[in-house]
Amino acid sequence: MLNFSFTEEQMYFRDMLKNFAKDELLPHYTRWDREGELPRSLWKKLGEIGVTGLRLPVQYGGSEADCVTAGIAAEEIGRGDFNLTYAVMLNALIGEIITKHASEEIKKEWLPEIASGSKIVGIALTEPDAGTDAAGIKTTAVYQDGVYVLNGEKSGISVATIGDAFIVFAKTDTHLGSRGISTFLCPKHLDGVECKGYEDMGNIPIGRGSIYLNEVVLPEKYLIGEENKGFMQVMNGFDLSRLLIGLQCVGAGLQSLDETIEHVKVRKSFGKPLAKYQGVSFPIVTHYTQLEMIKWQAYRGLWLRDQGLKHSKESASVKWMGPKCSQEAIHECLLLNGHYAYTKEMPLEQRLRDVIGLEIGDGTAQANQMVIANDIIGKEFKSYEKPVTS
Ligand SMILES: Cc1cc2nc3c(=O)[nH]c(=O)nc-3n(C[C@H](O)[C@H](O)[C@H](O)COP(=O)(O)OP(=O)(O)OC[C@H]3O[C@@H](n4cnc5c(N)ncnc54)[C@H](O)[C@@H]3O)c2cc1C
C-alpha cells in the first residue's frame, strides 16, 4: 500500500500551526531580526502549543509525536518565522539524545523544561579546526575522581548566547578518532563556560557564537551515554535534524512563492498583470516544482524513520537540496517583487539571509553528498579513509 495522506490529527495540527504562523509569527518576523533578539516568550508559547515537546516522552511533558508530525511543525513554522524553527529541530535532536542516552537524573532535571519551552539547549560539535571533519575535534574531557574536566573551544554554535545548556562533544580518548568522542550536557552557568556571539548575516535572533570551555568541572552524571560512543549517538540524530532543516527551508521558500503569486496577480506592467507573462510564471513554477519534490522526499524520510527503516541518504539529499533550492526560490521571489523587496520592510531579504545559513549549518552540501556517495557508490570509495589496496 502507498499512502501519502496525513492522519486527521496531523491535519488538525497543521491547520492550527498554519494559523498560528500567519497570525502570530509572520507579522513580527522581521522585527526580531532588526532588534537582534529572540523573544523567550515566543519559544515558551511554542511550548504551550506543544511544539517544543513534540519528540519528548509523555512522562517528561512531551507528546511523543512521530517524526512526520515534527516535520509538519518545521514546515509551518518556517512559513511564519524561520528562526523559531530551531525550537523544532534542536529540541528533536537534543530530546532524542537525552531520552535515549542520559541518566534518569538528567532526564528528570532537563526534559520537562525543554518540553515546556522554558529552557533552551544547543548542540556544540563544531570547532575552529573541525567542521565537516567533525571527528577531528580537539576539546578534551579528562576523568578525575568522579568528575570530568573539559577544555576546548566550540565555534559556530546556534543559541550560544541564549542557550541554558549545551550538548558538548569532547575527546575522552585522543588516540581513537571518532571512536574516542563522548557526549556531555554542559549547563551554561558553570564556572569556566564563556559564550560570545557573532555578527551573523542571518539567523540573527538565534545568537550563534563560540563557547569557550576552560577547566569546566562536570560531575559524572552529565556524561550522556557511554564513554567514547558520543559520535555514533549524534550521527543518527543528524538524520532527523537534516530532514527537519529541509522542511523548515521549504516552508520559508513556499511562503515566499505564495506571497509572490499574490503580488504578480495584481502588479501590472505594460497594461497586464505580471502573472500573464511566462517570463514571470515559469520561474515561479520551476521553484514550486523543486520545493514540492524536496518536501515529499523529506516526509518520506521522516516516515522511514518512524518505521525504523534506513533513511540516511534520503535525509542527506533533503539537507543539501532543501536550503539550496529554497534560497534560490526566495532570491527569485525577491526579484519578482521588484525594488521594494530589497528593503527591510518586506521579509524576503531576511528569509534569503536566514535560509543561506542552513546551507552550512548541520553539514554543507558536500558533507551530505559524501553520505549519499557512501551509500550508492560504496564505503570502500570514501574520500576520507585510506584507499583500499589490493
Ligand atoms: C547557521 C549555522 C548554524 C550552525 N549551528 C551549529 C550548531 O548548532 N552546532 C554546531 O556544532 N555547529 C553549527 N554550525 C557549524 C556547521 O556545522 C559547520 O560550519 C559545518 O559543519 C562546516 O564546517 P566548517 O565551517 O568548519 O567548514 P569546513 O569543514 O572547513 O569546510 C569548508 C568548505 O569545504 C568543503 N569541504 C570540506 N571537506 C570537504 C571534502 N572532503 N570534500 C569536498 N568538500 C569539502 C565544505 O563543504 C565547505 O564548503 C552552524 C553553522 C551555521 C552557518
pLDDT at 318 over 70: yes
Q: Output the nine-digit C-alpha cell for 361.
A: 549549518
| CATH number, domain containing residue 257 | 1.20.140.10
Establish if 103 belongs to a structural domain.
yes
Whether the CB of 126 sits within 6 Å of ligand 1: yes
Does 191 share its domain with 134? yes
Give the distance (Å) from ligand 1 centre to CA of residue 58.
Answer: 34
Distance, CA of 362 to CA of 233 (rounded, Å): 15
Does 370 share its domain with 245? yes
At 71-116, the pLDDT tens digits run 999 999 999 999 999 999 999 999 999 999 999 999 999 999 999 9
Establish if 44 belongs to a structural domain.
yes
Does 254 share its domain with 366? yes
At 281-295, the pLDDT tens digits run 999 999 999 999 999
pLDDT at 197 over 80: yes
**Nearest Cα residue to atom 1 of ligand 1:** 357
**Nearest Cα residue to atom 4 of ligand 1:** 361
Half-sphere exposure of residue 198, counting CA atoms within 13 Å on the CB side?
A: 17
Closest ligand 1 atom to Cα of 132: 29
Give the distance (Å) from ligand 1 centre to CA of residue 361.
Answer: 6
Does 181 share its domain with 297? no
Question: End of a domain among 92, 120, 148?
Answer: 120
Residues whose CB falls within 8 Å of the CB of residue 122, separated by 6 or more in sequence, listed in order:
90, 94, 157, 158, 159, 160, 163, 165, 166, 167
| CATH number, domain containing residue 33 | 1.10.540.10
Distance, CA of 348 to CA of 355 (rounded, Å): 11
Q: How confident is residue 2, by pLDDT bands cut at 50, 70 and 90?
A: confident
- Coil, strand or helix at 196: strand
Does 139 share its domain with 71? no
Whether the CB of 203 sits within 6 Å of ligand 1: yes
Does 303 share its domain with 237? yes
Does 300 share its domain with 333? yes
- Coil, strand or helix at 276: helix
Does 182 share its domain with 244? no
Residue 197's CB is within 10 A of a number of other CB atoms, namely 15
Distance, CA of 34 to CA of 173 (rounded, Å): 44
Establish if 383 belongs to a structural domain.
no
Establish if 1 belongs to a structural domain.
no
Angle (deg, nearest 10), helices 312-336 and 348-357? 160
Does 309 share its domain with 240? yes
At 39-64, the pLDDT tens digits run 889 999 999 999 999 999 999 999 99
List the domain range (segments joined by +) for residue 208: 122-227
| CATH number, domain containing residue 129 | 2.40.110.10
Q: Output the nine-digit C-alpha cell for 106.
A: 538528567
DSSP letter for 21, please.
I
Give the distance (Å) from ligand 1 centre to CA of residue 166.
Answer: 18
Q: Could you tell me the pTM of the whole model?
A: 0.96
- Coil, strand or helix at 209: strand
At 219-262, the pLDDT tens digits run 999 999 999 998 887 788 999 999 999 999 999 999 999 999 99
Whether the CB of 123 sits within 6 Å of ligand 1: yes
Establish if 142 belongs to a structural domain.
yes
Establish if 274 belongs to a structural domain.
yes
Closest ligand 1 atom to Cα of 200: 1
Establish if 385 belongs to a structural domain.
no
Question: End of a domain among 204, 227, 250?
Answer: 227
**Nearest Cα residue to atom 51 of ligand 1:** 361
Establish if 3 belongs to a structural domain.
no
Are 140 and 150 in contact by the 8 Å Cβ rule? The answer is yes
Question: Ligand 1: which of 320, 350, 362 to mutate, judged by most atoms within 8 Å of the beta carbon?
Answer: 362
For residues 55-90, one letter each, b for 16 or more C-beta atoms within 10 angstroms of the residue's C-beta and e for the rest, the string is bbbeebbbbebbbbbbbbbbbbbbbbbbbbbbbbbb
Instruction: Tally the domains of the chain.
Output: 3
Whether the CB of 361 sits within 6 Å of ligand 1: yes
- Coil, strand or helix at 184: strand
Q: Outline where the chain has alpha helix (H).
A: 8-20, 29-35, 40-48, 67-80, 86-101, 104-116, 230-266, 278-306, 312-336, 348-357, 365-376
Question: Ligand 1: which of 359, 364, 369 to mutate, judged by most atoms within 8 Å of the beta carbon?
Answer: 364
Q: CA quadruple 255, 43, 315, 352: dihedral positive or negative?
A: positive
Does 309 share its domain with 274? yes
363: left (phi over 0), alpha (psi -120 to 50) or beta: left
Give the distance (Å) from ligand 1 centre to CA of residue 309.
Answer: 27
Half-sphere exposure of residue 208, counting CA atoms within 13 Å on the CB side?
A: 19
Give the distance (Å) from ligand 1 centre to CA of residue 152.
Answer: 18
DSSP 125-137: --BTTBSSSGGG-
**Nearest Cα residue to atom 7 of ligand 1:** 157
